[in-house]
């Protein structure tokens, strides 16, 4: 979508708060220097954030030969944010302060057959209630709940349009959740959640163009383009896991053949292993996590089958990541999510080599390849950050006094 002046004001608000969270305390002058915004713009945005109690004045620093400069810092206790990571086998919920430090965690395990919307909603509601209680925050201080839901989601309507692993179609997820959760709710999918987490707190920070490659059960790419998350016209960009790598190759659940995901998603890796060595003790049928853990251990022990499976995966992945490098010419490619975290450095090394075999020299030379450095669940952190972005986006629509902001929300749950 086209950027309006309103989008630009919002993006600038994000940029200033991001910088304050990253480096507190800081001055308006430093913020102007780092963000490239004018001092007047920074002063206005800092004023808005002060009015919202998201940041506070914390004293002065001497400036060489000038007036002392006012310092501001994030007001960690100025509000709370909740991130919800809905995955195939669990619901993971974290509550954060405004510095995005985790104050409380809750995890609900979902057994097979529990994937009905009402069951999932009950798990999310229970875990959300739990983190608020654990952290002991007043309900009025919760600025929002971000929900990361796999598959195709419609952010505007809060509908899960299509969740392939559960075969959900057009489930009004936010409406169902709002019967149990009275905080403002924001829906997006893990690609965008992880991208925004990397943009605010990870390897994409400070980069205009970055790709966050998500390697889990599903596979996709969160895109940071022009300094912000690229969502596309119907908020479904990033489905690189469903681009064709092997024409007429493996059948994918999306209906296409030869999708990247069918070769480098966890089930695809298991299939690669099965085809290579059907009786391998590395293979734990029906258990993706155990299999990937066994592979990681096998690679560390230089088990030849494990090493071959890693190389095969990297061969597919390298060609597919080279496509992103050639098409988008990003500054950094971040490998994230649980499969990337478990296979770690050996995977990164192989992928670097394989990308070099496929990509054009000029874009390749401009790109660095790293593992995600976010220590906790990036989808939770990202979902909470999306809630923070949501709260910041609505600043202009409400008055900027925090008391009014709180009153304008629906009542907290009893």
What does the DSSP 8-state code read for residue 216?
A: S
* 17 versus 405: smaller Cβ distance to a second copy: 17
Residues between 278 and 297 that touch a second copy (CB under 8 A): none
Give the per-residue contact string, 89-128, with a second copy (x = CB under 8 A; - = no).
----------------------------------------
Residue 2 in the binding site for a second copy (CB under 8 A): yes
Nearer to a second copy among residue 317 and residue 347 (C-beta): 317
Cβ atoms 234, 406 nearer than 8 A: no
Q: Which is nearer to a second copy, 26 or 152 (CB)?
A: 152
Q: Residue 12 burial (CB < 10 Å; 0-12/13-18/19+)?
A: middle
Please identify, using beta-carbon distances, which residue of 324 and 380 lies nearer to a second copy: 324
Task: Give yes or no for residue 327 binding a second copy (CB under 8 A).
Answer: yes
Residue number, 34 or 178, with CB nearest to a second copy: 34
Residue 230, SS3 per DSSP: coil
- 123-128: list long-range contacts, CB under 8 Å, 24+ apart: 123/91, 124/84, 124/86, 124/91, 124/93, 124/177, 124/180, 124/181, 125/177, 125/180, 125/181, 127/84, 127/91, 127/92, 127/93, 128/82, 128/84, 128/93, 128/180, 128/181
CB 282, CB 295: distance < 8 Å:
yes
Count of positions (residues) in the chain: 414
Binding mask 150-189 for a second copy (x = CB under 8 A): --x--------xx---------------------------
Is the CB of 79 or the CB of 222 nearer to a second copy? 222
Q: How far is the CB of 206 from a second copy (least distance, A)?
A: 8
Q: Report the nearest approach of a second copy to the CB of residue 367 (Å).
A: 8
Give the pairing type, strands 159-163 and 152-154: antiparallel
CA separation for the pair 157, 144 (Å, rounded): 16
Is residue 397 part of the contact set for a second copy (CB under 8 A)? Answer: no
What are the CA-CA distances from residue 57 to residues 48, 76, 151 (Å)? 13, 13, 42
Contact segment (CB under 8 A) with a second copy among 2-10, 21-29, 95-103, 281-289 equals 2-10
Helical ranges in 144-219 per DSSP H? 173-178, 190-201
Q: Is 37 in the site for a second copy (CB under 8 A)?
A: yes
DSSP classification of residue 64: T
Q: What is the Cα–Cα distance from 308 to 377, expressed in whole angstroms? A: 29
- Any contact of residue 277 with a second copy (CB under 8 A)? no
Considering only residues 239 through 268, tell me which ones interact with a second copy, judged by CB under 8 A: 239-240, 242-247, 249, 254, 256
Q: Does 209 bind a second copy (CB under 8 A)?
A: yes
Give the residue, chosen from 3, 116, 349, 401, that forms a contact with a second copy under the rule CB under 8 A. Answer: 3
Rounded to whole angstroms, the Cα distance separating 333 from 325 reads 8
Task: Select from 218, 222, 238, 336 the one that contacts a second copy (CB under 8 A).
Answer: 238
Q: Which of residues 330-359 bind a second copy (CB under 8 A)?
A: 330-331, 357-359
Displacement of CA 88 from its chain's centroid (Å): 17
CA quadruple 141, 147, 153, 158: dihedral sign = negative
| Minimum CB distance to a second copy, residue 235 (Å) | 7
User: What is the spatial order of strands in the sheet that 185-188 belongs to?
Assistant: 102-109, 90-97, 80-86, 142-148, 185-188
Q: Which of 365, 397, 410, 411 binds a second copy (CB under 8 A)?
A: 365
CB of 47 to a second copy, least distance (A): 18
17 binds a second copy (CB under 8 A): no
Contacts with a second copy by CB under 8 A: the residue count is 67
Residue whose CB is less far from a second copy, 122 or 246: 246
Question: What residues contact 5, with CB distance under 8 A and at least 6 apart?
Answer: none
Which residue, 99 or 206, has its beta carbon nearer to a second copy?
Answer: 206
Q: Quote the least distance from Cβ 181 to a second copy, whole Å.
A: 25
Can you spell out the DSSP letters for 279-306?
T-TT--TT-HHHHHHHHHHHHHTT-HHH
Minimum Å gap between C-beta 297 and a second copy is 28
Quote the least distance from Cβ 252 to a second copy, whole Å.
10
Residues 6+ apart with CB under 8 A from 188: 146, 147, 148, 149, 153, 155, 235, 383, 386
- What is the C-alpha separation between 293 and 83, in angstroms, rounded? 26
List interacting residues with a second copy (CB under 8 A).
Answer: 1-6, 8, 11, 36-38, 41, 152, 161-162, 206-209, 221, 223, 225-228, 230-240, 242-247, 249, 254, 256, 316, 319-320, 322-324, 326-331, 357-363, 365-367
């Amino acid at each position: 979508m086209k950027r309006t002046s309103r989008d630009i004001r919002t993006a600038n608000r994000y940029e200033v708060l991001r910088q304050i969270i990253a480096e507190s305390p800081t001055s308006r002058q430093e913020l102007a220097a780092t963000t490239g915004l004018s001092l007047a713009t920074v002063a206005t945005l800092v004023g808005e954030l002060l009015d919202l109690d998201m940041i506070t004045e914390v004293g002065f620093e001497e400036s060489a030969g000038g007036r002392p400069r006012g310092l501001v810092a994030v007001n960690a206790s100025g509000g709370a944010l909740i991130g919800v990571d809905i995955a195939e086998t669990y619901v993971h919920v974290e509550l954060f302060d405004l510095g995005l430090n985790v104050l409380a965690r809750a995890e609900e395990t979902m057994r097979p057959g529990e994937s009905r919307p009402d069951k999932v909603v009950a798990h999310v509601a229970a875990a959300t209630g739990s983190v608020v209680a654990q952290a002991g925050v007043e309900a009025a201080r919760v600025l929002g709940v971000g929900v990361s839901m796999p598959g195709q989601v419609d952010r505007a309507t809060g509908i899960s349009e299509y969740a392939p692993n559960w075969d959900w179609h057009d489930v009004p997820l936010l409406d169902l959740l709002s019967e149990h959760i009275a905080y403002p709710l924001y829906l997006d999918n893990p690609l965008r959640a992880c991208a925004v987490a990397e943009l605010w707190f990870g390897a994409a920070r400070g980069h205009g163009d970055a790709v966050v490659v998500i390697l889990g059960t599903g596979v996709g790419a969160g895109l940071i383009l022009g300094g912000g998350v690229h969502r596309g016209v119907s908020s479904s960009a990033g489905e690189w896991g469903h681009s064709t790598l092997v024409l007429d190759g493996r059948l994918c659940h999306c209906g296409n053949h030869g999708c990247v995901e069918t070769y480098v998603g966890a089930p695809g890796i298991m299939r690669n292993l099965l085809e290579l060595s059907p009786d391998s003790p590395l293979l734990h049928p029906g258990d993706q996590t155990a299999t990937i853990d066994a592979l990681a251990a096998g690679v560390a022990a230089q088990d030849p089958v494990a090493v071959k499976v890693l190389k095969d995966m990297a061969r597919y992945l390298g060609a597919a990541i080279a496509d992103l490098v050639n098409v988008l010419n990003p500054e950094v490619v971040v490998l994230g999510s649980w499969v990337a975290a478990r296979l770690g450095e050996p995977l990164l090394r192989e992928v670097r080599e394989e990308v070099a075999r496929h990509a054009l020299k000029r874009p390749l030379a401009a790109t660095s390849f790293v593992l995600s450095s976010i220590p906790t669940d990036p989808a939770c952190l990202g979902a909470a950050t999306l809630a923070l972005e949501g709260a910041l986006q609505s600043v202009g629509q409400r008055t900027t006094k925090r008391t009014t902001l709180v009153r304008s929300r629906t009542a907290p749950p009893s």
